[in-house]
Chain A
Amino acid sequence: MNPTRSALLVSPPVYDTQYWAHWSLPYGLLRVAAWLQTKGYMLKLIDCMEANKRRTVPRKSRKVRKLCSTDSYTPDSWQGFSVAEDEKVEFCFGIPPEILKKQLKEIQKKAREAQESLFDIQVFPEPDEVWISSIMTYWWESTRDVITECREVFPNAVIRVGGIYPTLAPEHAMENLGLQKPLHLQGRELDPLDPEQQHRDIVVSATIPDANPLPLCLELYQEDGAGEPELEEGAPRKGLPEYTILTTSRGCPFKCSYCAANVLNEGRKVWVREYNSAYEEVKRRFQQGIKEFCFYEDNLLLGKNNFLELIRLIAEDPDLKGIKLHAPEGIEVRLLHPHVVQLMRKAGFGRFYFPLETVNANMQKKWDRTHTNMEKFFYALQNTVDTGYRLRCQDLNCFILFGLPDEDLQAVYDTVVFASSRVGSVIPMLFTPVPNTPIFENYRSYIESKGFDLQHLNGKLLPFLDYNRRKYKDLSVRDYTALESLMWRLNAKVRQESFDLGGTGRVASMFREIFVSTDRPGMRRSPLFLDTPNAEVR
């Protein structure tokens, strides 16, 4: 029998210009934790992105990045600093590496003390392995920094990096993370008992099939971890997060050109988690005081029957009264049949997020979004409204994708106006090219010519701004800022409703009339001072 191995699990901080820490639980890592537990590992978690009660994480200015560029710099002082129009401040969200290092040293100190005392067998020892989850490809730098700190404090531990980044860009990870002669393995090839693997750093691609059906090991958030005694049934557990993440399926049969789901799941096959086990997990967690459950799926509803069974059980369970379900990742509109929506509402889904992306048929086609069209979108919209979800108040939300190369900006505006008027709430999604997707490959030469590394491709840094100048000569950062700001402002609410740009009321129609007329050439009565001859400065 192998002696117990110990693994430290780290969810790294995020370097980005914006971050919304709402559903930031590192579910992949927590599932791997559950898997390692079945292998007899002793575990400890450091979640650098653990959010506070208000669901925010601390942030610290890191550097200034120039948009659509590889340039960056750190100002002499952040006090009173403000960025230029073509720059954004990159923050470190969550626990920064230098604080992480202190925590690692604390673990080490405790471990060594316990080692000396020979008694504190419950204390987490110096780890044999450090498992790090790395999510977005453009966040890879924080993974590297975390590895550096772990290496320094625990030189004898071997490192495992898994997640989306190592799946999509394994070569990049092998080269850039500072690993020592790493192995590259697929998740299914991992074997903790293999002596060869035990002594090597590993870059893990794709998921670990055995881990997929396991519930997240949230207990790692509790002070004493798994050592805490089982409480009376129904007593809320201290230290557990307020919500948890459920994954009942993985994979997507479609192949949109900007999406990486196929790579992540090694093909188009869809894996579905058996509903009973998910239901048991929901029940257990609910009893422990977790009331919110968030579905993270590549394409919710693909395992529709299974999913429906699960939410039927939830909807009909009187013990689960007050449960809140979320599906913030978007939903397959094609499958939102009336009975599906009704059941989802009954089960506790408060909001819907539609991946509208664009209303432009050409774009749809270009992106290989073959499985969806406006007809299906309307179908879903109608069904949700019929079921009682309200328009214009963020019950229903549309994702709109922009910042793509060769995009038709007019189509984006069309989509924005359409979504705002018909649904009421739009969520801008700036496009990030992801390695290993068709779109990435198509534009590889541009990306290389700009000298972009993955971090420069973050959508919020507008990597395709220069490219799109081929089509729109004077395109500037301001145009994208304006577009994004337009989307946010469309969501501004008064008396719980947002403005309807396409509304039939007098205000909306007159607004349109006046706004459209402000640009009419040769118009005599212009409202604008700059065009008004008698507005000279005296």
Chain B
Amino acid sequence: MRLGGVDPSILRELSGVYKPFVKAFKELISNAFDADAECIRVEFADNFSSVTIIDDGHGMTPFEFRDDFTRIGGGSRRWAGGKTLKGRLRVGNKGIGFLALARYCERLIVESAGERGFHREVELVRTPDSIDIPATLGLPLSSELLSRCLSCQVSRSGPRRTRLKEGRDYTWKRGRRHLAIPKNVGPVKVRLAVDCNQLIFKASLDFERLLCLADNADLEKIEDFASIEIYDRKTQPPFSGTRVCAEQLKDFVRRELRMEQRKGFVRNIGSRSGFEKFRWSLSRCTPIPYMTLGGDTENPLADLLTIPPGSALSSLHVSHGETSFSLRRPLYPFDPDSPSLPPDMLTKAEIDEGGLKAAGFLAGYTGIIFPAEYRGLSIRVRGVAIGDPGFLGAETLLTGASKAALSQITGEINILAGLDAVGALNPGRESFYEESEHFKILRRALIGEGERVGGYLGGVVAAVLRRTSVQSGLSDVLNRAALRRQALEDMSAAITQLIARGDGTARALLEMARSRRSHVNGLASASMLEYWIPPRIGGLTVKFTKNLTEPATTNYETGEVNIDEARLNQERTLLLFDRQFSIIHKKGQPDQPIAEMDPERGEIFINWGHPVRLQMDERGFLRTSLAWLLAKEAAKKDPDLMMDLALRLLSFNAVSHG
């Protein structure tokens, strides 16, 4: 069987377009899809030495196989808007798909059958002695098959168009393999029709040989690389659809597939086993249905991902040994390990401009996305991802925190119209041609123009950054509050312990805690310090609420941070054995006391304007001022007792730190 007349060295070049193996492999899935298959099974041999793809599509006749499957460029028409018999938009190759696997296996075995006929008309200017029918049909059909499937019309062409009659004007020789016209009747036209219903074929493409020929540039032998055998369908086991087997996968392919998951902690797909990586990649570049979020039918994403009916396979099963997997198109928000997506971090994307129609979503997360392979925008044409997810060049425009935010963004854009022209995609469908007008529109809508990132992505990056700043602002506020609270805890626990131990200091402390006299001296009237919570954190308004289950919650929709008041109030109270004192923070003068106590009203004033504050952090200052105050109040002017108490209080830590 002869190949469509292209220089083998070009074949070699073209076959190199598909890297890695899975990208080449997907072409076979595309072919099956274009043959209107619904279910495809991919079966690896136990040792990954071969892989078989079985589909339930409409199959191929041997003639279609020859004309389309093995012919370079034969499919380009189809991509350019062709539809399948069922009316699907084709995703198949540009006519070089079968070559895709040339570098990855030694031989491709194709078995198929199609229930369509084949017609051929031959016009001859002179009456030939005999016509070689198999040669005319271009396929090795046995005389037995020919006698059953072939019908033939021979007519005189030219002005005297008359049909010739079998037996009288022409005869069959060698069992319908040769047609002989004994009389010279001038120019003739022969119309051959083959009823392929009866035929099933098994073809073998010997890539090893093809590439070897290409190396030797031995064009004479080029026809030898493919062989085909055609059988009577009745003599074969029942069969429909197509079965393609890539035999003797190359060693490096097998090794890749066999590779085990990397040892230790693994988060990314890239570190998983070879077979898992293969399945993941295949699930991204083949037209299969989305994975679904178990039970959640109300998911807002469901609307954004509507894809036209019939544009996906019903199932794609991949099996190896005992294990079998039904592939689904992966989406980070549907991944069982992904955190829940706040509604305001989900951006709906819709483009309808200049003939380009696209729809999908972008999603930002507060944490970094793992596995890393989910990061980026996945752009699909006819349900198939074009290349790996990325940010269409925004990566190079952004810097610093904005760039870091990209690792928290994922997205999915389905191209519904446009961008599927030959001129827009490279042959491996791995990238868009940047000069394509449609691509320019897409890019502008997604990431904006010029040196700043805008568009949908710009919005999502801004949302991610806002969250990050709110989170860090809030955790700063909460951490500082926790440290101040810790200082009060330390004091309170120290007093409790000293009182419990029951020595002389205990009595003094207990008396102080229970005292009701008032002897403040000015600090009470100093201005208040509400330093601990800023009114806005990361642009959100701070509100105080009661009984939150967490210390704080954020609501980006309403633009509010809610902080649990009860917990904060703890920070404003100091339990001295069994009596609660209010801690009141004051912006006093440097020459005012560091702290004052009003036992009558149960209040303690802390002077944050005291110069000692400059020497220490908030926790340290709070501890020091309280220790000083409590020691002074309890000691009642006994300097030894005061020193002893102050030291004991200062040296007490309720829990270990650091």
Which chain B residues lie closer than 8 Å to A117 at the CB level? 251, 254
Which of B251, B254, B255, B263 interacts with A238 by CB under 8 Å? B263
Who on chain A is nearest to B260 by CB?
A223
From residue B262, how far is it (CB to closest CB) to chain A in Å?
Answer: 11
Which chain B residues lie closer than 8 Å to A120 at the CB level? 251, 255
From residue B271, how far is it (CB to closest CB) to chain A in Å?
Answer: 14
Q: Quick check: is A119 within 8 A (CB to CB) of the other chain?
A: yes
Which chain A residues lie closer than 8 Å to B263 at the CB level? 223, 238
Q: Quick check: is A113 within 8 A (CB to CB) of the other chain?
A: yes
The number of chain A residues with a CB under 8 A from chain B is 7
Q: Quick check: is B47 within 8 A (CB to CB) of the other chain?
A: yes
From residue A224, how far is it (CB to closest CB) to chain B in Å?
Answer: 12
What is the CA–CA distance of A118 and B255 in the complex, to the nearest angstrom? Answer: 12
Which chain A residues lie closer than 8 Å to B47 at the CB level? 113
Which chain A residues lie closer than 8 Å to B251 at the CB level? 117-120
What is the CA–CA distance of A119 and B254 in the complex, to the nearest angstrom? Answer: 10
Who on chain B is nearest to A114 by CB?
B251
- Produce 1/0 per residue, B50-68, CB < 8 A to A: 0000000000000000000
From residue B333, how far is it (CB to closest CB) to chain A in Å?
Answer: 35
- Produce 1/0 per residue, A231-253, CB < 8 A to B: 00000001000000000000000
Which chain B residues lie closer than 8 Å to A118 at the CB level? 251
What is the CA–CA distance of A509 and B207 in the complex, to the nearest angstrom? Answer: 94
From residue B385, how far is it (CB to closest CB) to chain A in Å?
Answer: 31
Which chain A residues lie closer than 8 Å to B254 at the CB level? 117, 119
Which chain B residues lie closer than 8 Å to A238 at the CB level? 263
- Produce 1/0 per residue, B244-258, CB < 8 A to A: 000000011011000
From residue B584, how far is it (CB to closest CB) to chain A in Å?
Answer: 49
The SS class assigned to the B binding surface is helix
What is the CA–CA distance of A119 and B48 in the complex, to the nearest angstrom? Answer: 13
Who on chain B is nearest to A122 by CB?
B255
Who on chain A is nearest to B49 by CB?
A117
Who on chain B is nearest to A119 by CB?
B251
Interface residues in B255-273 by Cβ distance below 8 A to A read 255, 263
What is the CA–CA distance of A401 and B251 in the complex, to the nearest angstrom? Answer: 60
Who on chain A is nearest to B264 by CB?
A238
From residue B4, how far is it (CB to closest CB) to chain A in Å?
Answer: 32
From residue A66, how far is it (CB to closest CB) to chain B in Å?
Answer: 46
**B: interface residue count bin:** under 10
What is the CA–CA distance of A117 and B45 in the complex, to the nearest angstrom? Answer: 14
From residue A109, how far is it (CB to closest CB) to chain B in Å?
Answer: 11
From residue B456, how far is it (CB to closest CB) to chain A in Å?
Answer: 40
Who on chain A is nearest to B251 by CB?
A119
What is the CA–CA distance of A113 and B252 in the complex, to the nearest angstrom? Answer: 15
Which chain B residues lie closer than 8 Å to A119 at the CB level? 251-252, 254-255
Interface residues in A102-147 by Cβ distance below 8 A to B read 113, 117-120
What is the CA–CA distance of A118 and B248 in the complex, to the nearest angstrom? Answer: 12
From residue B264, how far is it (CB to closest CB) to chain A in Å?
Answer: 8
What is the CA–CA distance of A118 and B254 in the complex, to the nearest angstrom? Answer: 12
Which chain A residues lie closer than 8 Å to B255 at the CB level? 119-120
- Produce 1/0 per residue, B494-508, CB < 8 A to A: 000000000000000
What is the CA–CA distance of A117 and B255 in the complex, to the nearest angstrom? Answer: 11
What is the CA–CA distance of A421 and B59 in the complex, to the nearest angstrom? Answer: 93
Who on chain A is nearest to B252 by CB?
A119
Interface residues in B228-255 by Cβ distance below 8 A to A read 251-252, 254-255
What is the CA–CA distance of A113 and B46 in the complex, to the nearest angstrom? Answer: 12
What is the CA–CA distance of A117 and B263 in the complex, to the nearest angstrom? Answer: 26
From residue A186, how far is it (CB to closest CB) to chain B in Å?
Answer: 42
What is the CA–CA distance of A119 and B255 in the complex, to the nearest angstrom? Answer: 9
From residue B499, how far is it (CB to closest CB) to chain A in Å?
Answer: 32
Residue from A113, A118, A119, A223 having most chain B Cβ neighbours under 10 A: A119
Residue from A113, A117, A223 having most chain B Cβ neighbours under 10 A: A117
Interface residues in A74-127 by Cβ distance below 8 A to B read 113, 117-120
What is the CA–CA distance of A119 and B252 in the complex, to the nearest angstrom? Answer: 8
What is the CA–CA distance of A477 and B306 in the complex, to the nearest angstrom? Answer: 84
Who on chain B is nearest to A113 by CB?
B47
Which chain A residues lie closer than 8 Å to B252 at the CB level? 119
What is the CA–CA distance of A193 and B27 in the complex, to the nearest angstrom? Answer: 54
From residue B279, how far is it (CB to closest CB) to chain A in Å?
Answer: 23
Who on chain B is nearest to A238 by CB?
B263
Which chain B residues lie closer than 8 Å to A113 at the CB level? 47
Who on chain A is nearest to B47 by CB?
A113
What is the CA–CA distance of A271 and B211 in the complex, to the nearest angstrom? Answer: 62
Who on chain B is nearest to A239 by CB?
B263
Who on chain A is nearest to B258 by CB?
A120
From residue B103, how far is it (CB to closest CB) to chain A in Å?
Answer: 15
From residue B208, how far is it (CB to closest CB) to chain A in Å?
Answer: 14
From residue B423, how far is it (CB to closest CB) to chain A in Å?
Answer: 41
Who on chain B is nearest to A121 by CB?
B251
What is the CA–CA distance of A241 and B251 in the complex, to the nearest angstrom? Answer: 33
From residue A277, how far is it (CB to closest CB) to chain B in Å?
Answer: 32
What is the CA–CA distance of A189 and B32 in the complex, to the nearest angstrom? Answer: 68
What is the CA–CA distance of A113 and B47 in the complex, to the nearest angstrom? Answer: 9
From residue A116, how far is it (CB to closest CB) to chain B in Å?
Answer: 9
From residue A225, how far is it (CB to closest CB) to chain B in Å?
Answer: 15
From residue B8, how far is it (CB to closest CB) to chain A in Å?
Answer: 25
Residue from B47, B251, B252 having most chain A Cβ neighbours under 10 A: B251
What is the CA–CA distance of A119 and B256 in the complex, to the nearest angstrom? Answer: 13
What is the CA–CA distance of A157 and B515 in the complex, to the nearest angstrom? Answer: 94
What is the CA–CA distance of A117 and B49 in the complex, to the nearest angstrom? Answer: 9
- Produce 1/0 per residue, B592-621, CB < 8 A to A: 000000000000000000000000000000
What is the CA–CA distance of A12 and B222 in the complex, to the nearest angstrom? Answer: 60
From residue B105, how far is it (CB to closest CB) to chain A in Å?
Answer: 13
What is the CA–CA distance of A113 and B255 in the complex, to the nearest angstrom? Answer: 12
Which chain B residues lie closer than 8 Å to A223 at the CB level? 263
From residue B528, how far is it (CB to closest CB) to chain A in Å?
Answer: 53
What is the CA–CA distance of A238 and B264 in the complex, to the nearest angstrom? Answer: 11
From residue A131, how far is it (CB to closest CB) to chain B in Å?
Answer: 28
From residue A478, how far is it (CB to closest CB) to chain B in Å?
Answer: 50
What is the CA–CA distance of A47 and B351 in the complex, to the nearest angstrom? Answer: 64
What is the CA–CA distance of A119 and B250 in the complex, to the nearest angstrom? Answer: 9
What is the CA–CA distance of A117 and B47 in the complex, to the nearest angstrom? Answer: 10
From residue B483, how far is it (CB to closest CB) to chain A in Å?
Answer: 33
What is the CA–CA distance of A238 and B255 in the complex, to the nearest angstrom? Answer: 22
What is the CA–CA distance of A238 and B265 in the complex, to the nearest angstrom? Answer: 14
What is the CA–CA distance of A117 and B48 in the complex, to the nearest angstrom? Answer: 11
- Produce 1/0 per residue, B61-91, CB < 8 A to A: 0000000000000000000000000000000
From residue A227, how far is it (CB to closest CB) to chain B in Å?
Answer: 13
What is the CA–CA distance of A34 and B254 in the complex, to the nearest angstrom? Answer: 32
What is the CA–CA distance of A223 and B261 in the complex, to the nearest angstrom? Answer: 13
From residue B255, how far is it (CB to closest CB) to chain A in Å?
Answer: 7
From residue A53, how far is it (CB to closest CB) to chain B in Å?
Answer: 14
What is the CA–CA distance of A532 and B458 in the complex, to the nearest angstrom? Answer: 96
- Produce 1/0 per residue, A374-388, CB < 8 A to B: 000000000000000
Who on chain B is nearest to A118 by CB?
B251
What is the CA–CA distance of A494 and B21 in the complex, to the nearest angstrom? Answer: 66
What is the CA–CA distance of A391 and B45 in the complex, to the nearest angstrom? Answer: 67
From residue A117, how far is it (CB to closest CB) to chain B in Å?
Answer: 6
Interface residues in A253-275 by Cβ distance below 8 A to B read none
From residue B258, how far is it (CB to closest CB) to chain A in Å?
Answer: 10
From residue A317, how far is it (CB to closest CB) to chain B in Å?
Answer: 31
Binding site for A on B (CB under 8 A): 47, 251-252, 254-255, 263
Enumerate 12 A-B pairs (CB-CB under 8 Å) in ascending A order.
A113-B47, A117-B251, A117-B254, A118-B251, A119-B251, A119-B252, A119-B254, A119-B255, A120-B251, A120-B255, A223-B263, A238-B263
Binding site for B on A (CB under 8 A): 113, 117-120, 223, 238
9 cross-chain pairs, A with B, having the tightest CB-CB distances, nearest first? A119-B251, A117-B251, A113-B47, A238-B263, A120-B251, A117-B254, A120-B255, A119-B255, A118-B251
Other than the known A119-B252, A238-B263, what 10 A-B pairs have Cβ atoms closer than 8 Å? A113-B47, A117-B251, A117-B254, A118-B251, A119-B251, A119-B254, A119-B255, A120-B251, A120-B255, A223-B263
